[in-house]
Amino acid sequence: MIRALRRDRGFVVGAVIAAGMVLVAVTAPLLAALAGQDYTTYHDDLLDSARGGVPIGSFGGISGEHWLGVEPGTGRDLFARLVYGAQVSVGVAVAATFLEVLLGVTVGIAAGLGGRWVDAGLSRLIDLVLSVPVLVMAISLLAIVPQDWPRPLLLAAVIAILGWGGTARISRGETLTLRTREYVAAAQVSGASWGRVARREILPGLTAPILTYAALLLPTNMVVEAGLSFLGVGVRPPTPSWGQMLSSATTWFRADPCYVFFPALLLFLTLLSFVLVANGLRRVLDPRQRAVLR
Amino acid sequence: MTLLQVDDLRISFGDKRAVDGLSFTLPAGGSLGVVGESGSGKSSLALALLGLGGEAAGRIDFDGTDLVTAGPERWRRIRGGQIAMVFQEPLTALSPFHTVGDQIAEVYRLHTGASRRAARARAVEVLAQVHIPDAARRAGAYPHEFSGGMRQRALIAMAIACRPRLIVADEPTTALDVTVQAQILDLLGEVRATTGAALLLISHDLGVVAGSTDSVIVMRRGRMVEQGPTDTVLVAPRADYTRALLDAVPKPGSRDYRPGEPLLRVRDVRKHFRQPRRGSLRQPPPIRAVDGVTLDVHAGETLGIVGESGTGKTTLARMMVGLVRPTAGTITFDGVDIARRRGRSVQMVFQDPLSALNPRRTVGESIADPLRLAGVRDPRPRVEELLERVGLDRGEYDRHPHQLSGGMRQRVGIARAIAPSPRLIVCDEPVSSLDVTTQAQVLALLEDLRRELGLSMVFVSHDLAVLRQIADRVAVLRDGAVVEIGPTAEVYEQPRHPYTRQLLAAVPVTDPAEARRLRALRTAGAG
Amino acid sequence: MIGYLIRRVAGAGVVLLVLSALIYALFYLAPSDPAILTCGKGCTPERLADVRAAMGLDDPIWTQYGHFLQGLFAGRDYPAGPDVRHCPAPCLGYSFETDQPVTALLLDRLPVSASLAIGAEALSLAVGIGAGMLSGLRRFRVLDRVVNGLILAGYTVPVFLVGLLLLLLFCVHLRWLPFPGYVPFTTDPLLWAQNLLLPWVALAVIQSAAYARLTRSGLQETLAEDHIRTARAYGIPERRILWRRALRGALLPLVTLTAVDLAAIMTSAVLTETMFGLPGVGQLLVGAVNQIDLPVVVGVTLLTGLLIVVANAAADLLYAAVDPRVELR
Amino acid sequence: DTTASDAAFDPKTCQGGTLTVLNQGGINHLDPARLYTSGGGNLPSLLFRTLTTRNRQPGEAGTKPAPDLATDLGTPSDGAKTWTYHLRDGIFFEDGTPITSADVKYGIERSFAPELPGGAPYLRDWLAGAAGYQGPYKQPEGIKAIETPDDKTIVFRLRKPEGDFPYLATATQFAPVPKAKDTGAEYEAHPISSGPYQVESYQPKKSLVLVRNKHWSSSVDELRYACPDRIEVTSGLDAAVINQRLVTGAGKDASAVTTDAVVGPEQLAQLGTGSELDKRVTRGEFPSTTYLAFNTKKAPFDNQKVREALSYAINRTSVVNALGGSAVVGASTTFLPPQKALGHQPYDYFPAGDSGNPEKARQVLAEAGLTGLTIDLAYENDDSEGIGPKVASAVQEAFKQAGVTVKLNAIDAATYRDVVGKPATQPGLALATWGADWPSGGPFLIPIFDGRQIITAGGNFNLAQYNDPEVNAEIDAINALTDPAAAAARWGALDAKLGKLALVIPLTHEKDVYLYGKNVKNAYADGWRGQLDIARISVK
Ligand SMILES: Nc1ncnc2c1ncn2[C@@H]1O[C@H](COP(=O)(O)OP(=O)(O)OP(=O)(O)O)[C@@H](O)[C@H]1O
Ligand SMILES: Nc1ncnc2c1ncn2[C@@H]1O[C@H](COP(=O)(O)OP(=O)(O)OP(=O)(O)O)[C@@H](O)[C@H]1O
Ligand SMILES: [Mg+2]
Ligand SMILES: [Mg+2]
Ligand code: NI
């Protein structure tokens, strides 16, 4: 299986990038120290205050000291903020996606395997989750929890609680088709309980569609995190996140394009890597796709 | 006059050679059977005749032109217009989004340039010709609204719509039950007689080609092993392989039948399925899949259950293992309600071995599952034993279902069924998706196991020949009810119910002369 | 079918009621008081109490919710200075912030959002299906790669960046289009389309990516099906096979997605609306949330929920219409 | 400073054309009772004439009130406790009915109704015995403290001397409302105009279209030129897009202005480079201060040394940059913004330089025996009011340099004032901003430092909770002055005196830089609000 994965060029590229991102997130303090910068120190001397606070110099103030330039308006080191931003962006998005998949798949399978009434009830619940306006609920939810709860975790939880509907819908649909397969009946005849059927027989069949979906859910969650941070209910300053940087970059779009470019690039690379990894995994997890015969 | 002449045909898929050096001729209006086990290249040949499938080399001379080198325009005219194909799987072979009539009309218009109205009329005409009742109305139905036999008729109707000179039928009856199979084969013969088209009939079933073809080709692994008039080849085969094929055809078994006390008791069991409401608020009447069945399965016997498609065989079988809860009536095993016995003493072998095995798990894992549920800690050694017992390699443990052949898969299914040491095994058409040789092996295995482990068996099949070989007693099912039940020999030799007689008459036989006689009988009866 | 619809409607009703109750509960739990915002700077506690009473906020939360339900089903009277304002059912109340009837606000903004959503969705579908087909047919390998790359890029680029780029390019540099604003379709269809073109494009850049992806995989799957082989065996031209048979099956999954997206654009495309000066439902909602404008939030949420439920039901019906095998259950 | 464009401007011939107003935030109320404006507002003042109005001049001159409906700025008597006004002749509502003093009185009474909340609170406090008045719908007998002896005269009796009454009389609550046309909450759908324009259509937060009011004439209103024939306001736009549209000036945008979208970095980069854009900008100052508010009832801010140390530590350059750079805000060391009308006197008792003096701060803290201090800082979770996360993190970083750890406490913008304005829930340190309701020291210093204004139940602005009888007495004394110049001098002195106590850390004052379209003429920032005055510009 590992060998098959290693032969998949897309997967390898994706895995390398994804691992790189995670590594960057984990070693952010080290990397920042390596650059001799931290993400909080203001450098007012590097900004042109009369011009609204754009970095002095070309390319957003790129210099030997500030490898990727500085943040307009504050002069904080952009490299340090980007590597620290990975912690929140990757962390929250991955955690939220994980929770969403966990919740969605559980409810989806339960609805798919359950009887008429269980299915009807859970389906309405899914409808409810799907029709909740995420922004409103997130803002309201985040407003009522105490200030000192760990923010990124909370964000992940809120995003997940409001966003598992899609996964559940897909899981339910797939389960409904999978449950008619004879191998499910076979497992039942051998005396397997519903839980066991769900785990052993249904779940493996869900991996492919859910993986694909999750790979796309991830960037969506990054964007949601960005939106919430932008609306002031996300991570607290001075903690950076890519999404937040991207949203605040709108005003600097023309005055300092570099400020938009770097977080956008990282976001793109991360998404790319996750899609590639998901594609690779899906191919490998599906034994039929390994031996290509139609 | 020769219509089709094939010379040294080779078909390959990339590196894989599917057909190697095949040569034969087919006269206009003639009929040729192609038989062989699964994977022998039969379908590849059929597709090559239409310029589809793998890369073909050699020569296919159709009506004076070489098809191997034909251009797209020529192909377009030949396909459907000159050579028409009838596919095996009638449900998937028709577009689910269009009505049957539309699909036939489309083909007709394409080749004749007829008006919409004329094409429509032709579609109704051919549908009527293949005996679709009320053809004018049914032409507006979607394929999924047709039964299997009707779909196959529709495909044949499509094939004859443009009056082709050659009809290629690739296993046209494999998915159908005996009576319908007989009807379709008769229909093909009738069509040939009325339209003068030649027929290339592909089947793994010797009985199918026996009654419907003049000459026959026997194929194995892409090569032709024997060729000649049907009468000669099937009666006095020269090749060993052909002989083996003939031997594998189920024969009436001589069985000593000593029934034990009743093990499984089915008492006035009914299963009604609610039908979805469509269009109106009124609840339509339920489907009575099983409607009042009473029977016993005795310890140590094999009870055969036979009937046409849709008569409730599967539903009954599933109720026997507790998968489906009866609407009414009781099923007891050893005096205990079956719903509470599940997972131990009653096991099941399913019809389609591929869909009965989880494609994402290794076969070993699938077999180990019931053992684990029975509390075995390390099931691997026991699973390997079981694999060997059903004639598989220990090494197959780690392979996935798609890596096995159909016969191997069914052996895995059997291994799984016997793993928890059951006392009764319910087999739902365990061999109907297998070709003759494999079928014979699996039947032998089941019989061995039954004797060795002292099992009781319920064996569901639509194939009377199979049941005659394996069953001690036979129950004939029709419309969810048992019309006749008794010892096998009795039912086969002195059928009391007319329906049983009808079934028996439809069984294909490998003796061409006998096959022709039966067919004549049938057509006379129908006419 | 009718029974199905009745069940669907009943289910939707329950979902919407739960939703509105949920929002009331959330607002009750949130540490915020809309009366303070309404009362303004320098509001004294006595004045605040008066204002709160005038807004009906001094009742317990369930009484307030009860009043809301009463308004919804039977209509409701509001004291308003010299006379009483009667708000006929279905009454969603009056905005705390602007004192406008919520139903009127929604009706006013719905056309804007609908224009945005329908156009964007149509464009996304056209582009997405086109691109998906080109790459799905695998006739052009390079194109497949390019489309795939664009699809991924489309997913990541935030809509405000796309929007800004489009504005700069078409309105500032090339000056091909005026800065967008909303012109009702009924006033001038041409101007309506001209003004909405850029927002449509901005949304389509992102949406079409998903559609292209789905079309591509759907097409590849359908083309491998048996009935396509039958069509080929009967000499039906490839083009006809593609358009009449393959696409139909390949596009089915798009139906559900389109329906959900349509509802989503109508209710939550705030950034797009603000950037392109479209006074739509999304703007209304975010403004209301920031101003703790409970009646508007509940109103918009109910509308959102209704749209999504309707969209899902419509998708299911359409599904059943396109694919005769599907049964409604 | 004025631009060159108004050299050839003549109010007599400026009439015609359509003015487009592109705004971010929408008008959410158009009822004069519910509007809270400074000097009658920009757009509202086109519809509502008030007893007095702002003088509508650039610079100094513009900070003074001027008579509008009234013939003069009012006659004080009884030591500025009674103010008498006479209405001028020839004034009509848009329907042609003459405006009487009863209409003005009714307008004020409406603003007391809890059904019509939102207006400025001063009159409830100032008028004698009016605090509990519930508005004309519940109490039709009206307010006793306002008398209308005849159709042309209106007399206000106040609780205490208020020399600033003519400034307050510019508020929209002083606009006449005809009782016969009052529909309560629905009045704002079409308020009856007394000004040069009337409402053609109005959709809150979305759009407002004004057309000429035929019953208004320039002969009875010297201050409003009312040049455009039609004014179309569109709200809910993105600031960056508004400014881009003004720069591009395509089509109708050539005759466009904005009243709330301050220029962003993009335009600032083009300004001052001698480009054409330099001619299309107004620069003004709206008196407003952003500051750090200490709660002196809470440790450690009850310790003046701590407050001083933090005053030394603050880095105003970071704050200025966070708020958009030196073009749009200026660093402040005084609480009163640097405007003569307010009586501004420069002082800097705890010099922090441009970028803070952390050493001095550490030293002061060490002297007080406080090292390793950790404090909470409350701020709005949204940057739109200028007291959001951007400023908070700049402050956090500056204090960090001085060894003080700041824990950030984000509060939902909608509830910020609620939490901070209630002494029970008020945090120790909070970001705050204060703008003048009129250009005088009083509205700046009284709510913030008058000890009798500490409202424990909520709505408090005296965040220091500072109560010094001496200061209170000084405030009363200045309030009684009716000479603005004399008052200004004493306000300035009071501010300078309070500054020594480090009750607040002033951070910045506002500067306003607005772009306007190519066709817009006579655009200059008025001295009162720092914005171009729509009543005076022309698009012809
Ligand atoms: N599309 C394909 N690509 C690669 N190999 C193929 C393809 N189709 C068929 N083959 C191979 O060619 C050989 C002949 O297959 P074919 O389908 O013609 O056999 P068949 O006799 O029709 O078998 P069956 O009875 O199972 O239908 C098989 O080994 C099969 O694996
Ligand atoms: N789950 C179900 N819901 C509704 N109808 C069903 C269901 N299962 C079976 N039926 C119907 O019950 C009848 C009997 O079906 P069953 O599968 O038992 O027949 P069968 O004899 O096994 O046929 P075949 O030979 O085709 O396998 C059929 O008409 C079928 O359509
Ligand atoms: Mg085949
Ligand atoms: Mg069956
Ligand atoms: Ni594996």
Banded pLDDT at C39 (limits 50, 70, 90): confident
> Is A74 at the interface with chain D, CB within 8 A?
yes
Separation CA A244–CA A250 (nearest Å): 11
A221-225, B522-526, C58-62, D171-175 — most confident range: D171-175
The Cβ of residue C166 has, within 10 Å, a number of other Cβ atoms equal to: 20
Domain boundary among B406, B421, B436: B421
Banded pLDDT at B436 (limits 50, 70, 90): confident
C25-29, C286-290, D309-313 — most confident range: D309-313
Residue with tokens 């016993």: B296
CATH number at residue B466: 3.40.50.300
Based on the structure, what is the number of domains in chain B? 4
Banded pLDDT at B524 (limits 50, 70, 90): low
- With beta carbons less than 8 A apart as the criterion, state whether A252 and A60 touch: no
* Lowest-confidence region among A58-72, A209-223, A280-294, D8-22: A280-294
Cβ(B44) – ligand 1 distance below 6 Å: yes
- Look at residue A291 in the predicted model and tell me its pLDDT: 41
Separation CA B438–CA B409 (nearest Å): 11
Q: Is D413 left (phi over 0), alpha (psi -120 to 50) or beta?
A: alpha
Answer yes or no: do A285 and B403 touch at CB < 8 A: no
Separation CA D494–CA D343 (nearest Å): 10
If you average pLDDT over every residue of chain A, what do you get? 83
Among C residues 183-242, those touching chain D with beta carbons less than 8 Å apart: none
Do B326 and B447 lie in a common domain?
Answer: yes
Residue C22, pLDDT above cutoff 90: no
On the question of a cis peptide bond just before residue A150, with omega within 30 degrees of 0, the verdict is no
Short-list D319, D226, B44, D361, CA closest to A75: D319
The Cβ of residue A198 has, within 10 Å, a number of other Cβ atoms equal to: 21
- Look at residue A293 in the predicted model and tell me its pLDDT: 29
3-class SS at B309?
coil
* In-domain check, residue B77: no
Answer yes or no: do D414 and C292 touch at CB < 8 A: yes
- Look at residue C228 in the predicted model and tell me its pLDDT: 87
Short-list A122, A101, A100, CA closest to A110: A122
Residue A292, pLDDT above cutoff 50: no
* In-domain check, residue B514: no
Give me the interface pTM, i.e. the ipTM. Answer: 0.80
> Is A64 at the interface with chain B, CB within 8 A?
no
- With beta carbons less than 8 A apart as the criterion, state whether D119 and D150 touch: no
Cβ(B38) – ligand 1 distance below 6 Å: yes
Residue D1, pLDDT above cutoff 60: no
Residue with tokens 């609920």: A137
Answer yes or no: do C297 and A136 touch at CB < 8 A: yes
For the stretch C50-59, pLDDT in tens is: 888 888 888 8
CA pseudo-torsion sign C263, C268, C271, C276: positive
* In-domain check, residue B470: yes
A127-136, B469-478, C11-20 — most confident range: B469-478
Residue A289, pLDDT above cutoff 60: no
- Look at residue D329 in the predicted model and tell me its pLDDT: 93
3-class SS at A143?
helix
Mean pLDDT over D298-312 rounds to: 93
For the stretch B104-125, pLDDT in tens is: 999 999 888 889 999 999 999 9
Going from the Cα of B203 to the center of ligand 1, the distance in angstroms, rounded, reads 14
Mean pLDDT over D98-103 rounds to: 95
- With beta carbons less than 8 A apart as the criterion, state whether D87 and D154 touch: yes
Mean pLDDT over B188-210 rounds to: 87
For the stretch A113-154, pLDDT in tens is: 887 788 888 988 888 888 777 777 787 777 777 777 788 888
3-class SS at B304?
strand
> What is the position in ligand 1's atom list of the atom closest to the CA of B41?
18
Do B404 and B428 lie in a common domain?
Answer: no
Looking at chain D, the whole-number percentage of residues with pLDDT higher than 90 is 72
> Is C145 at the interface with chain D, CB within 8 A?
no
* Lowest-confidence region among B137-141, B273-277, B285-289: B273-277
Mean pLDDT over C273-301 rounds to: 85
D140 CB burial (10 A radius; 0-12, 13-18, 19+) = exposed
- With beta carbons less than 8 A apart as the criterion, state whether B266 and B296 touch: yes
For the stretch D153-176, pLDDT in tens is: 999 999 999 999 999 999 999 999
The single-letter DSSP state of residue A233 is S
Short-list B232, B258, B237, CA closest to B249: B237
- Look at residue C140 in the predicted model and tell me its pLDDT: 63
Separation CA D485–CA B436 (nearest Å): 115
Separation CA D286–CA D525 (nearest Å): 10
Going from the Cα of D351 to the center of ligand 3, the distance in angstroms, rounded, reads 93
* In-domain check, residue B151: yes
Residue D430, pLDDT above cutoff 90: yes
The Cβ of residue B362 has, within 10 Å, a number of other Cβ atoms equal to: 18
CB-CB: which of A42, A236, A253 is closest to D394? A42
> What is the position in ligand 2's atom list of the atom closest to the CA of B462?
25
Mean pLDDT over D375-402 rounds to: 91
**Residue whose CB lies within 8 A of the most ligand 2 atoms, among B147, B179, B293, B314, for a mutation test:** B314
Do B98 and B231 lie in a common domain?
Answer: no
* In-domain check, residue B243: yes
Answer yes or no: do B107 and C235 touch at CB < 8 A: yes
Do B68 and B213 lie in a common domain?
Answer: yes
On the question of a cis peptide bond just before residue D196, with omega within 30 degrees of 0, the verdict is no
* Lowest-confidence region among A3-7, A36-40, D83-87: A3-7
Banded pLDDT at D384 (limits 50, 70, 90): confident
Residue A58, pLDDT above cutoff 90: no
For the stretch D24-38, pLDDT in tens is: 987 889 999 999 998
If you average pLDDT over every residue of chain B, what do you get? 86
For the stretch C244-286, pLDDT in tens is: 888 887 887 788 778 778 877 887 777 788 778 888 888 888 8
Residue B317 token pair: 């079988």
Q: Whose CA is nearest to atom 2 of ligand 2?
A: B273
If you average pLDDT over every residue of chain D, what do you get? 91
* In-domain check, residue B214: yes
* Lowest-confidence region among A159-163, C80-84, D221-225: C80-84
Going from the Cα of A292 to the center of ligand 3, the distance in angstroms, rounded, reads 18
Short-list B9, C161, D524, CA closest to A257: C161
Going from the Cα of B314 to the center of ligand 1, the distance in angstroms, rounded, reads 30
- Look at residue B203 in the predicted model and tell me its pLDDT: 87
Do B405 and B460 lie in a common domain?
Answer: no
Answer yes or no: do C304 and A128 touch at CB < 8 A: no
Neighbouring chains to D with at least 3 Cβ pairs closer than 8 Å = A, C
If you average pLDDT over every residue of chain C, what do you get? 83
Banded pLDDT at D440 (limits 50, 70, 90): very high
- With beta carbons less than 8 A apart as the criterion, state whether D50 and D172 touch: yes
Q: Where in chain C is the domain with CATH 1.10.3720.10?
A: 103-322
- Look at residue B525 in the predicted model and tell me its pLDDT: 57
- Look at residue B278 in the predicted model and tell me its pLDDT: 56
How close, in Å, is residue B115 to chain C by CA atoms?
Answer: 17
User: With touching defined as 3+ CB pairs under 8 A, do chains A and C touch?
Assistant: yes
At residue B321, φ and ψ (nearest 5 deg) are -95, 5
Residue A1 token pair: 């299986």
Answer yes or no: do A182 and B356 touch at CB < 8 A: yes
* In-domain check, residue B519: no
> Is C239 at the interface with chain B, CB within 8 A?
no
* Lowest-confidence region among A158-162, B122-126, B318-322, B434-438: B434-438
Cβ(B310) – ligand 1 distance below 6 Å: no
Answer yes or no: do C233 and B106 touch at CB < 8 A: no
- Look at residue D4 in the predicted model and tell me its pLDDT: 46
Going from the Cα of B51 to the center of ligand 3, the distance in angstroms, rounded, reads 16
For the stretch C192-243, pLDDT in tens is: 888 899 999 988 888 888 788 788 878 887 887 888 888 888 888 888 888 8
Answer yes or no: do C152 and A253 touch at CB < 8 A: no
* In-domain check, residue B515: no
Range(s) of the domain holding residue B404: 358-421
CATH class of C103-322: mainly alpha
Cβ(B313) – ligand 2 distance below 6 Å: yes
> What is the position in ligand 2's atom list of the atom closest to the CA of B428?
22
- Look at residue A290 in the predicted model and tell me its pLDDT: 46
- Look at residue D158 in the predicted model and tell me its pLDDT: 95
A3-7, B60-64, D103-107, D278-282 — most confident range: D103-107
Q: Does domain A1-290 have CATH number 2.70.98.50?
A: no
- The residues near C243 (Cβ < 8 Å, ≥ 6 apart) are none
DSSP string, B473-525: EEEEEETTEEEEEEEHHHHHHS--SHHHHHHHHH---S-HHHHHHHHHHHHHH
Banded pLDDT at D538 (limits 50, 70, 90): very high
